[in-house]
Amino acid sequence: MQTIVIGHKNPDMDSICSAIGYARLKQLLGVPDIIAARAGNTNARIDYVLKRFHVAAPVFLSDVSPRVSDVMRRDSFFVQSDVAIYDAIQMMAEKELRGLPVVDKNNRCLGMLSSFKLSHYLFPPREEASSARIVEASLAGIVKTFAGTVISGEISNEAVETLLMVGAMDLNTFTQRMERQRDKKIVLFVGDREHIQMAAIECKARAIVVTGGLPILDRVREAAQEKKVTLVSSPYDTATTVLLARGALRAERLLEHFISFNPDTPLEAARERAATSTSSVFPVVGEGNVLLGIITKSDFLKPVPRRLILVDHNELSQAVQGADKIPIVEILDHHRIGFTSNLPIHFWNNPVGSTSTIVTLCYQQMGVPIPSDIAGLLMAGLISDTLNLTSPTATPVDSRVLDHLAKIASTDPAELAEQIFSVGSPLLTMTPAQVITADCKEYEDSGRRFTVSQIEELNFARFTDKQSELFAALESHCWGRGLFFAALMVTDINTQNSLLLVAGAPTFLERITFPAHGPHIWELDGIVSRKKQLLPYLLQCLTGAGAG
């Protein structure tokens, strides 16, 4: 079971650093197969911090939805096309399957053997019963099915149309029948009836199978050798031997059309398609139709071997795609609560300035020393989310935690803050569309969806030059996603002020009471926190706003 520690879509510094920090704690506590992941791209500031503290970026996962690969069977559940159906039936019984893929020598899936078609072949309708005597198989394959012993003559591996005949009749009747079938390859099944055996040799049957392990007379052997008729001994009675011999038909002769899946096929889509099929076993194939495994209808009921720990968010609208389809077992967050669960989970929601603060408290609670590289990352997450403790979201707990981390990482918080915020201006290094989505969180209230993005700059100079392009990108984002409104908060970390750019329903825009800075732009003096200052205000503006 893999556990993934992951932050929100469009991750910020705190999201990345807290995911890495918490995954490392779990690893130190001995939790197996646990990884840190990210649902979006990093930015220049995050890359700087990761490089500074020599930590690799989390694994990128854009979608954690269950896939066919999560529940498929990768064992060797298949047969080659030239295998006798007898062997295929034995494998199906052993594996408790009602179907089996058939492959060629390059492991490409050619079709399926189904229990239904096999039973139809072995027990055909009465009107087709006479066809049951014809088997397209090699003599070697026929002999193998009943564990026969070759007494004399040769057995071929070439599959040909063969007529199975039982010598249980009067000699004259038998001879007449043999004459009528002279143009066919005949394998005769007979007990110790010498006159029937000799007649079959005279008519040059392809092979004679003496059943019941009964002795074969020397003169019969000599006559068979002279006429080049193969003699075989079967340990079973005639009825049993013939029944087994029919299992020599090659698997390729009973192929059925099949529905296959790719390992990356979403499990939900595969389940819907499989539900409408009469088949119960489906090949899983890769490029060139190469067989990789199988999935059965019962496999769709298996639990997915993957679970999530969410950090720095708890609303599914902000979570990685597919988070609603696999178990969420833990949440560490410092935002408003928007998560509900039918099962009890570990949920630590603490109104501190950053999730990195909460992760640090987890280390302390568990009595696990914080590695110096992790301490550096958690410092960066805390500094970024609280603007180095100047944000109104910062608490005394954040201050104490930052001092503690600074000592472990041997890093001055003020120096680290200056380096972080001087790297990679979003307005300089990103396109307008990237600015909107870089740190964008989606919310829903009263049935209306909206997003709030935030970037930090050293001043507003670059915003003035790009505001028209930014508004166009914001409008495209808003209408393209069917949102009630979309907002971009640009924060000046030096003056501790922000500008708010909003696109959306006019009935909402007219309720914004901040001082106007220009069309669709408002001044937010002293407001730097999206979570604690801006979001509550926007939710208040939503009250009474029409559908737009």
Residues 185 and 169: beta-carbon distance below 8 Å: no
**Minimum mean pLDDT among 125-129, 165-169, 281-285, 321-325: which range?**
125-129
Say if 2-66+305-421 and 426-542 have the same CATH topology. Answer: no
Q: Which CATH superfamily is domain 2-66+305-421 in?
A: inorganic pyrophosphatase (n-terminal core) (3.90.1640.10)
Whole-number average pLDDT of the chain = 89
Distance in angstroms (rounded) separating the CA atoms of residues 89 and 70: 27
Q: Which CATH superfamily is domain 426-542 in?
A: DHHA2 domain (3.10.310.20)
**Minimum mean pLDDT among 311-315, 424-428, 518-522, 535-539: which range?**
424-428
For the chain, give every domain's residue range: 2-66+305-421, 426-542
Please report, as a single letter, which amino acid is at residue 518.
Answer: G
Mean of pLDDT values over 460-475: 89
List the structure tokens of 158.
Answer: 């070439």
pLDDT at 132: 67
Check whether 348 has a pLDDT greater than 70: yes
- In the block, which residue shows the tokens 């708010």? 500
Residues 269 and 124: beta-carbon distance below 8 Å: no
pLDDT at 23: 97
pLDDT at 5: 97
| pLDDT tens per residue, range 68-87 | 999 999 887 888 888 888 88
140 Cβ neighbours under 8 A, 6+ residues apart: 155, 156, 157
Write out 342-406 in H/E/C secondary structure.
Answer: CCCCEEEECCCCCHHHHHHHHHHHHCCCCCHHHHHHHHHHHHHHHCCCCCCCCCHHHHHHHHHHH
Please report, as a single letter, which amino acid is at residue 173.
Answer: T
List C-alpha distances in Å: 502 to 462, 488, 508. 18, 6, 10
pLDDT at 546: 60
Distance in angstroms (rounded) separating the CA atoms of residues 497 and 512: 17
Check whether 339 has a pLDDT greater than 80: yes
Residues 136 and 159: beta-carbon distance below 8 Å: yes
List C-alpha distances in Å: 367 to 29, 363, 364, 397, 400. 10, 6, 5, 18, 17
